[in-house]
């Protein structure tokens, strides 16, 4: 486990020093599993478009134990955001009513999950109960901050809450500031404020903080008013009241939620602009209430929403925010449509020597488990049958499903976690349709790329000024008969290497030795060559097991046992080969040429844009 200090604080300091506005997004844990899927899908979207400095998960609002292993717990949501959605994440933690040992157990677990940032809060006693501070091990947030620093040193970044309108329990604004100073002195790195309704409230508050010697960054907590009902609820909860003119406006529009939302966006935008102009702070923490549309509008108004998200990243696949994986630089191509499954199955790897699995001759993957299968689609059986067929009358119906996925008519296949087909797949769409129509079911592919600029909108990745390359790749299921024909033709294409395995593990390949084949690489100024995606013969059998299992658990089991639909899928599962195929000549090759020869693809439309 790394013991370098959490880097979030440094990033915030840098942004403040550069006077570059930045933002973070707060979410609460969902109440249900489907709610959890939706939230994770939101995280994915935020990772792809947005670019928050971090996200923040509240403690236990969804009900249930916030530190449990359920997907709906605060800790799980934060951990999944870090591990699988690639988002730097802060986790709230309240101490009131908890023993040191209980808090220690939660923090140990958070550390184990790669969470590096904690928002330390006192929390409230459950409604109808009170605590006597004298009887508590950790009665105040200050005590929690101290405890974290004592027990975990610099491992966690610590944030504390500031109250521009004074905490409802504080005897005075002065006393409230004093408590805040205490929390900072105890070891907090930065402050996020409670919501407020006028920028002047916040600006004044920051000035007061500076006056009493609080020097750390202070992020403005922004709540966009989203509906009349929600603002009434919040006023009650926070015991805060907007100024009269806002109340008047809201009352005027109270029957028009859309108008209120627009007003809320306008109000928040104005506050943020005024704060940026004041230069007291450049960080904005948005209370999203799990609805990020209004927040996105505000950020777009402020020119702070990056449509490329953190996707303007160093590698072509989505990196994890877990620091344990910081050195990860190479992945097998097989899981490229199932990155979360890959992350899950390699979650126990503590080190990534050479940027990859430790011993490539025996990469240890986690077992196929309900866990990853369960997460693979996020659709229930009825939804799956709707898109993959209520009944199947022949293997042609299966072909239609694959074609529909490539054409964007359906949003999911068992082998894809993402609901969108990769942009580069569009470039070889016709050929893929031809293959699938002919019973060659493609699960993964990439066209050849011969030195496009690293800023290319479709194929580019990594920093500007570089050149990116790809070897054409195809992965598909194919019947034994069709495969035999293909193998015969492939003898004429020495630059195309292939490896096929059926469910039982029978292997056919034209590769003379087992070696790792780089299929995506990039050349950058002043850098070593980066080769983030490889075809790795040692992990192919592991992917093969997963890929076949998905036929069975995701598709076959939608139908009654021994029904025709069931048997069609079962037959594929039992008999087909899974083939990976690389055209090693990324300059002059054409991976579809063998299929042209077989009359499956059409050479006149099949010119691959090799650039």
The residues that are catalytic are: 26
Q: What's the CA gap between 149 and 610, in Å, rounded?
A: 55
Q: What's the CA gap between 359 and 55, in Å, rounded?
A: 34
Kindly determine how many residues on this chain lie close enough to bind its own copies according to the rule CB under 8 A.
Answer: 30
Identify the burial level of 541 via C-beta atoms within 10 angstroms of its C-beta, where 0-12 means exposed, 13-18 middle and 19 or more buried: middle
How near is the Cβ of 43 to its own copies at its closest, in Å? 31
Pairing of strands 530-535, 441-446: unpaired
How near is the Cβ of 118 to its own copies at its closest, in Å? 31
Per CB under 8 A, 352 contacts its own copies: no
Q: What's the CA gap between 611 and 605, in Å, rounded?
A: 16
CA 97 to the chain's CA centroid:
33
Binding mask 162-181 for its own copies (x = CB under 8 A): --------------------
Per CB under 8 A, 534 contacts its own copies: yes
How near is the Cβ of 282 to its own copies at its closest, in Å? 24
Q: What's the CA gap between 285 and 287, in Å, rounded?
A: 7
CA-based nearest residue to 308, from 570, 46, 34, 610: 46
Per CB under 8 A, 527 contacts its own copies: yes
Per CB under 8 A, 4 contacts its own copies: no
CA-based nearest residue to 26, from 106, 121, 96, 139: 121
Per CB under 8 A, 364 contacts its own copies: no
Per CB under 8 A, 497 contacts its own copies: yes
Stretch near its own copies under the rule CB under 8 A, chosen from 88-96, 181-189, 412-420, 519-527:
519-527
The SS3 call for residue 128 is coil
Query: In this complex, which beta carbon is closest to its own copies, that of residue 406 or of residue 582?
Result: 582
How near is the Cβ of 181 to its own copies at its closest, in Å? 38
Per CB under 8 A, 469 contacts its own copies: yes
Per CB under 8 A, 602 contacts its own copies: no
What Cα–Cα distance (Å) separates residue 327 from each residue in 65, 153, 321?
A: 33, 23, 11
Query: In this complex, which beta carbon is closest to its own copies, that of residue 531 or of residue 563?
Result: 531
In DSSP terms, which residues pair with 601 in a beta bridge? none
CA-based nearest residue to 456, from 420, 427, 488, 431: 427
Per CB under 8 A, 523 contacts its own copies: yes
The SS3 call for residue 198 is coil
Binds its own copies (CB under 8 A): choice among 465, 480, 599, 609: 465
Contacts to its own copies from residues 476-495, by CB under 8 A: 494-495
Query: In this complex, which beta carbon is closest to its own copies, that of residue 339 or of residue 466?
Result: 466
* Cβ-based neighbours of 193, under 8 Å, separated by 6 or more: 161, 162, 163, 164, 202, 205, 218, 219, 220, 221, 285
Q: Would you state the structure tokens that stand for residue 606, as one six-digit string?
A: 């099949």
Q: In 10 A of CB 67, how many CB atoms? A: 21
Per CB under 8 A, 455 contacts its own copies: no
Binds its own copies (CB under 8 A): choice among 94, 517, 533, 565: 517
Pairing of strands 496-502, 507-509: antiparallel
Per CB under 8 A, 551 contacts its own copies: no
How near is the Cβ of 359 to its own copies at its closest, in Å? 14
Binds its own copies (CB under 8 A): choice among 127, 457, 505, 525: 525
Binding mask 185-224 for its own copies (x = CB under 8 A): ----------------------------------------
How near is the Cβ of 475 to its own copies at its closest, in Å? 16
Binds its own copies (CB under 8 A): choice among 529, 564, 605, 607: 529
Stretch near its own copies under the rule CB under 8 A, chosen from 133-141, 265-273, 429-437, 527-535:
527-535
Q: 273 and 298 in contact (C-beta within 8 Å)?
A: no
Binding mask 566-585 for its own copies (x = CB under 8 A): ----------------x-xx
HSE-CB of 364 using CA atoms within 13 angstroms: 8
Residue for token digits 């799956």? Answer: 384
Per CB under 8 A, 326 contacts its own copies: no
Query: In this complex, which beta carbon is closest to its own copies, that of residue 258 or of residue 528?
Result: 528
Q: 326 and 355 in contact (C-beta within 8 Å)?
A: no
Query: In this complex, which beta carbon is closest to its own copies, that of residue 342 or of residue 586?
Result: 586
Q: 44 and 10 in contact (C-beta within 8 Å)?
A: no
How near is the Cβ of 512 to its own copies at its closest, in Å? 8
Q: What's the CA gap between 473 and 490, in Å, rounded?
A: 15
Identify the burial level of 307 via C-beta atoms within 10 angstroms of its C-beta, where 0-12 means exposed, 13-18 middle and 19 or more buried: exposed
How near is the Cβ of 511 to its own copies at its closest, in Å? 6
CA 553 to the chain's CA centroid:
25
Per CB under 8 A, 319 contacts its own copies: no
Residues that bind its own copies (CB under 8 A): 354, 450-451, 465, 467, 469, 494-495, 497, 511, 513, 515-518, 521, 523-529, 531, 534, 582, 584-587
């Amino acid at each position: 486990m790394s013991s370098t200090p959490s880097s979030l604080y440094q990033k915030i300091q840098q942004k403040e020093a550069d006077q570059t506005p930045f933002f973070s997004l707060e979410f609460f844990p969902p109440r249900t599993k489907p709610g959890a899927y939706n939230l994770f899908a939101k995280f994915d979207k935020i990772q792809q478009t947005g670019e928050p400095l971090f996200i923040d998960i509240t403690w236990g609002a969804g009900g249930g134990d916030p530190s449990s292993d359920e997907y709906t717990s605060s800790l799980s949501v934060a951990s999944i955001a870090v591990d699988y959605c690639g988002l730097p994440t802060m986790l709230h933690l309240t101490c009131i009513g908890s023993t040191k040992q209980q808090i220690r157990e939660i923090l140990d677990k958070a550390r184990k999950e790669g969470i590096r940032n904690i928002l330390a809060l006192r929390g409230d006693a459950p409604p109808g109960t009170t605590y006597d501070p004298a009887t508590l091990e950790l009665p105040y947030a200050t005590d929690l901050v101290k405890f974290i620093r004592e027990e975990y040193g610099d491992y966690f970044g610590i944030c504390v809450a500031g109250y521009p309108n004074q905490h409802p329990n504080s005897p005075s604004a002065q006393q409230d500031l004093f408590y805040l100073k205490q929390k900072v002195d105890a070891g907090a790195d930065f402050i996020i404020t409670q919501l407020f309704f006028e920028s002047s409230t916040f600006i004044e508050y920051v000035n007061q903080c500076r006056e009493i010697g609080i020097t750390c960054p202070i992020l403005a907590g922004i709540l966009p008013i989203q509906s009349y009902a929600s603002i009434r609820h919040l006023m009650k909860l926070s015991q805060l009241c907007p100024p009269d003119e806002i109340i008047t406006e809201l009352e005027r529009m109270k029957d028009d939620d859309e108008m209120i939302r627009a007003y809320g966006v306008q109000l928040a935008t104005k506050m943020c602009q005024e704060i940026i102009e004041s230069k007291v702070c450049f960080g904005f923490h948005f209370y999203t209430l799990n609805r990020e549309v209004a927040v996105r509008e505000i950020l777009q108004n402020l020119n702070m929403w990056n449509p490329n998200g953190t996707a303007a990243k160093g590698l072509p696949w989505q990196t994890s925010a877990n620091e344990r994986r910081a050195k990860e630089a190479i992945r097998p191509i097989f899981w490229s449509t199932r990155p979360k499954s890959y992350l899950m199955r390699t979650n126990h790897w503590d080190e990534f020597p050479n940027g990859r699995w430790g011993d490539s001759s025996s990469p240890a993957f986690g077992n196929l488990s309900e866990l990853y299968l369960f997460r693979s689609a996020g659709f229930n059986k009825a939804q799956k049958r709707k898109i993959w067929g209520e009944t199947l009358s022949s293997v042609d119906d299966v072909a239609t499903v694959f074609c529909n996925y490539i054409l964007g008519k359906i949003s999911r296949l068992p082998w894809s976690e993402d609901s969108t087909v990769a942009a580069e797949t569009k470039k070889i769409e016709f050929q893929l349709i031809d293959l699938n129509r002919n019973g060659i079911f493609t699960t993964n592919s990439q066209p050849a790329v011969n030195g496009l600029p690293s800023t290319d909108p479709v194929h580019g990745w990594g920093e500007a000024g570089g050149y990116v390359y790809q070897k054409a790749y195809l992965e598909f299921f194919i019947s034994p008969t069709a495969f035999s024909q293909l193998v015969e033709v492939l003898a004429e294409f020495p630059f195309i290497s292939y490896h096929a395995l059926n469910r039982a593990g029978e292997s056919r390949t034209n590769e003379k030795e087992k070696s790792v084949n780089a299929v995506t690489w990039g050349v950058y100024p002043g850098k070593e060559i980066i080769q983030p995606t490889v075809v790795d013969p040692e992990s192919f059998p592991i992917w093969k097991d997963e890929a076949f299992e998905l036929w069975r658990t995701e598709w076959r089991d939608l139908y009654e046992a021994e029904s025709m639909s069931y048997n069609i899928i079962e037959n594929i599962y039992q008999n087909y080969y899974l083939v990976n195929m690389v055209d090693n000549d990324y300059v002059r090759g054409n991976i579809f040429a063998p299929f042209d020869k077989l009359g499956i693809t059409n050479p006149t439309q099949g010119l691959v844009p090799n650039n």
